[in-house]
């Protein structure tokens, strides 16, 4: 039952030219789709849960869905992670819910405030054997900031490599989400998709050994946007990060964790819209949620190729055994 922290994963990903896919879960179909894809590709994975997901699904339900996924796939290395935690209390709740990894997002705070919040979370999480991801810099498309902002100011929104080093030393955080031009959602770029790859390189230099994380990494596949727009939706100008750029960030620049939520939402929505439009008499949820789940499986399998994590599960389990991490109290609930 390799339910683990992200440490064994990042130990191998850091120098291994691959990244761990971190996928947001909100219900059974999404979880099943992700797990089936990772099992088929033998990829390690992170299932991440936001505050909103906890509220929507009720953590007790999500916990049992995830437990079932872990039981069904005893050979698959899985970490359970809090996405964008905002308070110490939320982190504590996740620790007692058996999460193996938490994110505290203090990126909206001034630098010193972010350090204080993150250091406090690191202290409580590490006592529980749980690892911590933090965020530094402002997430948002590069172009968004260019509009009305002097060219020399654009850099201000990206993660500063020297600050990252200071932040890491003072918080002892285990991984860091960096701002390099990605943003959340389906509208990431107004013009050409562009990431500040050089910035990853600089942060790798000032913070050697610190696993870096890319949020806002959905590619917003055109096939889903086309289906959505064809069948009654309206998502003009939706644009994501091309998968080649993800592949480069991972294999060339060393990013260790890549966050995906929007692409899961798009896959499910596109298929449900298609069924509703082409089969107007359909009212059995299994007949529209099922195709949605299948679309998630195919999308995630393709994503795992872009992350170069295909076939890496076994090596991660070996590393986990080598580290001798204790199993979290996940099954005791």
Q: In the complex, which residues of this chain contact ligand G3H (CB under 6 A)?
A: 24, 50, 52-53, 83-84, 184, 261
Q: How far is the CB of 104 from Zn ion (least distance, A)?
A: 12
Residue closer to Zn ion by CB (options 52, 198) is: 52
> Contact, 296 vs 37, CB < 8 A?
yes
Handedness of CA 229, 190, 307, 122 (dihedral sign): negative
Q: Which of residues 20-39 bind ligand 13P (CB under 6 A)?
A: 24
Residue 53 interacting entry, from Zn ion, ligand 13P, ligand G3H, none, C-beta within 5 to 8 Å by type: ligand G3H
Is residue 215 at the binding interface for Zn ion, with CB under 5 A as the rule? Answer: yes
If contact means CB under 5 to 8 A according to the sort of partner, which of Zn ion, ligand 13P, ligand G3H, none does residue 52 touch? ligand G3H
Instruction: Compute the distance between CA of residue 262 and CA of residue 184 in angstroms, rounded to an integer.
Output: 8
- Let me know: does 228 contact 263? Beta carbons within 8 Å: no
Q: How many residues does the chain have?
A: 333
Contact call for residue 133 and ligand 13P (CB under 6 A): no
φ, ψ of residue 45 to 5 degrees: the values are: -150, 160
Cα gap 63→217, rounded to integer Å? 25
User: Cβ(264)–Cβ(28) under 8 Å?
Assistant: no
The half-sphere exposure of 316 on its side-chain side, counting CA atoms within 13 A, is 31
User: Looking at beta carbons only, is 176 or 315 nearer to ligand 13P?
Assistant: 176
Identify which of residues 2 and 33 has a Cβ nearer to ligand 13P in the complex.
33
Q: Give the binding range for ligand 13P (CB under 6 A) out of 9-17, 145-153, 253-261, 280-288.
A: 253-261
Q: What angle do CA 45, 47, 52 make, to 5 degrees?
A: 160
Under rule CB under 6 A, residue 260 binds ligand 13P: yes
Contacts for 221 with CB less than 8 Å, ≥ 6 apart: 240, 263, 266, 267, 299
Span interacting with ligand 13P, options 190-198, 260-268, 277-285, 294-302, rule CB under 6 A: 260-268
Beta-strand runs (E) in the chain: 20-24, 45-50, 78-85, 101-104, 131-136, 175-178, 212-214, 257-260
Is residue 86 among the annotated active site residues?
A: no
Q: Which does 260 bind (CB under 5 to 8 A by kind): ligand G3H, Zn ion, ligand 13P, none?
A: ligand 13P
Contact 238, 220 (CB under 8 A): yes
Is residue 107 part of the contact set for ligand 13P (CB under 6 A)? no
| Catalytic pick among 11, 83, 97, 263 | 83
**CB closer to Zn ion out of 177 and 289:** 177
**Contact flag: residue 215 with ligand 13P (CB under 6 A):** yes
- In the three-class reduction of DSSP (H, G, I as helix; E, B as strand; rest coil), residue 78 is classed as strand
Piece of 129-137, 193-201, 255-263, 299-307 that binds ligand 13P (CB under 6 A): 255-263
Give the span between the Cα atoms of 195 and 193, in whole angstroms.
Answer: 7
Cβ atoms within 10 Å of 159's Cβ, excluding its own: 25
Nearer to ligand G3H, 84 or 145 (CB): 84
x/- mask, ligand 13P, residues 169-188, rule CB under 6 A, reads ---------------xx---
Choice between 56 and 331, CB closer to ligand 13P: 56
CA 76 and chain centroid, separation: 17
Q: Is residue 81 part of the contact set for Zn ion (CB under 5 A)?
A: no
CB of 26 to ligand G3H, least distance (A): 7
Which residues are marked as active site? 83
- Which residues lie near Zn ion (CB under 5 A)? 215
Q: Which residues bind ligand 13P (CB under 6 A)?
A: 24, 83-84, 184-185, 215-218, 259-263
């Amino acid at each position: 039952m390799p339910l683990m922290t992200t440490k064994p994963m990042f130990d191998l990903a850091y120098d291994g030219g691959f990244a761990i896919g971190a996928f947001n879960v909100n219900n059974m179909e999404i979880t099943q789709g992700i797990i089936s894809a990772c099992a088929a590709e033998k990829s390690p994975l992170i299932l991440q849960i936001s505050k909103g997901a906890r509220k929507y699904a009720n953590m007790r339900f999500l916990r049992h869905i995830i437990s079932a996924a872990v039981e069904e796939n005893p050979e698959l290395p899985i970490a359970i992670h809090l996405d964008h935690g905002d308070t110490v209390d939320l982190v504590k709740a996740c620790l007692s819910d058996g999460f193996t990894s938490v994110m505290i997002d203090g990126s909206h705070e001034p630098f010193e405030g972010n350090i204080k919040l993150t250091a406090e979370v690191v202290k409580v999480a590490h006592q529980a054997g749980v690892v911590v991801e933090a965020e530094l810099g402002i997430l948002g498309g590069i172009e968004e900031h260019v509009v009305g902002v002097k060219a020399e100011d654009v850099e201000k929104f990206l993660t500063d490599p020297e600050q990252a080093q200071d932040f890491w030393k003072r918080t002892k955080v285990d991984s860091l989400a960096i701002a390099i031009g990605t943003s959340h959602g389906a509208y990431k770029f107004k013009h050409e998709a562009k990431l500040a790859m050089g910035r990853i390189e600089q942060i790798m230099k000032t913070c050697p050994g610190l696993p870096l994380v890319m949020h806002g990494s959905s590619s917003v596949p055109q096939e889903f946007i086309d289906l959505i727009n064809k069948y009654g939706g309206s998502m003009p100008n939706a644009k994501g990060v091309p998968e080649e750029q993800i592949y480069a960030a991972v294999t060339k620049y060393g990013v260790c964790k890549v966050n995906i939520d929007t692409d899961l939402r798009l896959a499910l929505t596109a298929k449900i819209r298609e069924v509703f439009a082409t089969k107007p008499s359909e009212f059995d949820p299994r007949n529209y949620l099922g195709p949605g789940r299948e679309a998630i499986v195919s999308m995630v399998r393709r994503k795992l190729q872009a992350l170069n994590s295909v076939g890496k599960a076994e090596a991660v389990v070996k590393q986990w055994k080598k580290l001798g991490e204790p199993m979290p109290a996940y099954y005791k609930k």
